[in-house]
Amino acid sequence: MTKRPEDLRSHQWYGGEGLRAFSHRARSRQLGLNPEEHLGKPVIAILNTWSGINPCHMHLRERAEQVARGVWQAGGYPVEFPVSTLSETFCKPTPMLYRNLLAMETEEILRSYPVDGAVLMGGCDKTTPGLLMGAASADLPAIFVPAGPMLRGHWRGETLGSGTDMWRYWDERRAGTIGAEEWDELEAGLARSPGTCMTMGTASTMTSAAEALGLTLPGASSIPAVDSAHNRMAAASGRRAVELVWADLTPSRILDSRAYADAAATVMALGGSTNALIHLIAMAGRSQVPLNLADFDRIARTTPVLADIRPGGRFLMEDFYYAGGLRALLARLRDRLHTDRITVTGRTFGEDLAGAIVHDDNVIRRLDSPLSTEGGVAVLRGNLAPDGAVIKYVAAAPELLRHTGPAVVFHGYRDLQDRINDPGLAVTEDSVLVLAGAGPKGGPGMPEYGMLPIPDRLLKRGVRDMVRVSDARMSGTSYGACVLHVAPEAHVGGPLALVRDGDPITLDVADRTLRLEVPEEELARRRAEWTPPEPVFERGYGALYYEHVTQADRGCDFEFLARPGKNPEPYAG
């Protein structure tokens, strides 16, 4: 213990004989509390992203009770705060538009209330980075409780992976190979319990990254949402949150360049979501740690894919948990990680991995038989993406990883929906489908439109993958030869705005290049004719977002949140 009760941040509110302290204690009595229940004890904020419209988090109301039990057991006082739920399924146009809003809310709640430490409860895609970005900026002791993946889906004897099999069978439905009855059964069998997608989508990728960063209890990210071990982990996290306050172990002591390098390596070894690159760059920015796309590409070239999990592999998160979970995978990567850094446990990262073993080499591959010898994500550059683009190539058809084809261009998602199945559309399986105007500003919010639909007539001929290029993101559960996050985006005058139908585009993953095969003189002429579009928003939070969001290669954070500088403590006396 390095702090005394009178050193607690909350003591500024509750301690002393001043009028304000009297008022705070009186209002606490209004809440039914006597002073001895919270005065001189660490006040732990439980930031809960539960809501009635977020199926991934529908168990977090109960888990918050377990966290609170752990806080009480350790001698703290729990206070639950509801924060933005960011339901991936229902929030439109995309929860990515509101990730920074959750980060702001998290930081300001922790700053403005009598809080000594925090337990952050999330998991659905944007909630993990949003909570952690805010906590990193607030820099109070904090621990993350992942929501956990849902159980496997089932349909007619087949195991289903949420997200991935939805996309796959939607193509089959459009191709006419399954009918309405099968489709209705799939709808009922895809998502069977609370929890996040049980594929290696953005949710499990980011909760795994949080664990690799050292912000969860060891093994927390792999536990299925409905497993009793999840309850026990929640209570243990509450107990540890109190200990973190006494030890003054804050995110800034944990989140250094080594932690972010290990998180990037974890994403690569998992064959994780491309969205992780945007989120980790934004999170590192809050920690004032340099991290860019070149770092990811460098780490990818030396990190094998060991997790055989959909969409790039065969298995699901439940299988991963039974095979040993993230601790077991990281134990196999141990020699490539920074094992001497500290985590929320107060131990080193290496000590947290001690004793972890793999129970199934099919799910978590050996180093000598990886799913891929390099990380599953590649960073591309070229005249079409001067600031970078990404592709999850382990989830793409291998024959498309070196491809040149004529562009078929769509300007915005509505244009794509209106024309993709137009019988007059000049498109073949060799075409490169291009979506422009779906980036951070143009989307707005950079929606997950990047897995452009293959035209129905090509699906009916058996085509199941094509090269697709956009300034959008795609769901981490998606697959295909989809080039994403093209930066700068078309909406701000990036080269994607200059592509015309028929222009040859070359993708070469091995060479890490994405090129528009058009003479520079012609591109200069088009650039001179380009007219900037009108702002998407005229007022409200959208206008704030539009005016301050950075491009994908910089994490899509708000520049005023990522910059260094003081955010003064409030005076509570």
User: Considering the domain boundaries, does residue 161 fall inside one?
Assistant: yes
User: Considering the domain boundaries, does residue 561 fall inside one?
Assistant: no
User: Does 37 score more than 90 pLDDT?
Assistant: no
- Residues 472, 508 share a domain: yes
Using only C-alpha atoms, the chain has a radius of gyration, in whole angstroms, of 24
User: Considering the domain boundaries, does residue 540 fall inside one?
Assistant: no
CA atoms within 13 A on the CB side of 562: 22
Q: Residues near 545 by Cβ (< 8 Å), separated by ≥ 6?
A: 97, 100, 444, 445, 537, 558
- Residues 158, 107 share a domain: no
Please compute the mean of the pLDDT values over residues 203-219 and round it to a whole number: 98
Q: Give the per-residue pLDDT at 378.
A: 95
- Residues 396, 266 share a domain: no
Q: Give the per-residue pLDDT at 573.
A: 77
User: Does 38 score more than 90 pLDDT?
Assistant: no
3-class secondary structure, 36: helix
Query: pLDDT confidence of 568, banded at 50, 70, 90?
Result: confident
User: Considering the domain boundaries, does residue 558 fall inside one?
Assistant: no
Q: Give the per-residue pLDDT at 323.
A: 98
User: How many structural domains is the chain composed of?
Assistant: 3
Query: pLDDT confidence of 140, banded at 50, 70, 90?
Result: very high
- Residues 428, 407 share a domain: yes
User: Considering the domain boundaries, does residue 363 fall inside one?
Assistant: no
- Residues 134, 282 share a domain: yes
Rounded to the nearest integer, the mean pLDDT of the chain is 96
- Residues 383, 252 share a domain: no
- Residues 175, 132 share a domain: no
Please compute the mean of the pLDDT values over residues 139-155 and round it to a whole number: 97
For the segment 249-265, what is each residue's pLDDT rounded down to a tens digit? 999 999 999 999 999 99
Q: Residue 146: which CATH number? A: 3.40.50
First vs last C-alpha separation in the chain = 26
Lowest mean pLDDT among 31-35, 404-408, 519-523: 31-35
Is the Cβ–Cβ distance between 486 and 515 less than 8 Å? no
- Residues 404, 291 share a domain: no
Q: Give the per-residue pLDDT at 318.
A: 97
Q: Give the per-residue pLDDT at 458.
A: 97
- Residues 469, 331 share a domain: no
Please compute the mean of the pLDDT values over residues 44-51 and round it to a whole number: 98
Q: Which two tokens stand for residue 405?
A: 């084809």
Tell me the pairing of strands 377-382 and 158-160.
unpaired
For the segment 331-349, what is each residue's pLDDT rounded down to a tens digit? 999 999 999 999 999 999 9
Domain region containing 496: 377-529
- Residues 280, 221 share a domain: yes
Please compute the mean of the pLDDT values over residues 528-534 and round it to a whole number: 95
User: Does 1 score more than 70 pLDDT?
Assistant: no
Is the Cβ–Cβ distance between 489 and 551 less than 8 Å? yes
| This prediction's pTM | 0.97
Q: Give the per-residue pLDDT at 296.
A: 98
Q: Residues near 482 by Cβ (< 8 Å), separated by ≥ 6?
A: 391, 392, 396, 450, 451, 452, 468, 469, 470, 474
Query: pLDDT confidence of 572, banded at 50, 70, 90?
Result: confident
Query: pLDDT confidence of 3, banded at 50, 70, 90?
Result: confident
- Residues 176, 138 share a domain: no
What is the distance between the alpha carbons of residues 286 and 255, in angstroms, rounded to a whole number? 10
Q: Give the per-residue pLDDT at 523.
A: 98
Torsion from C-alpha of 13, 15, 17, 19, nearest 10 degrees? 10
User: Considering the domain boundaries, does residue 424 fall inside one?
Assistant: yes
Q: Residues near 456 by Cβ (< 8 Å), separated by ≥ 6?
A: 174, 175, 421
486: amino acid identity, one letter = V
Please compute the mean of the pLDDT values over residues 306-319 and round it to a whole number: 96
User: Considering the domain boundaries, does residue 127 fall inside one?
Assistant: yes
Lowest mean pLDDT among 28-42, 216-230, 482-496: 28-42
Q: Residue 456: which CATH number? A: 3.50.30.80
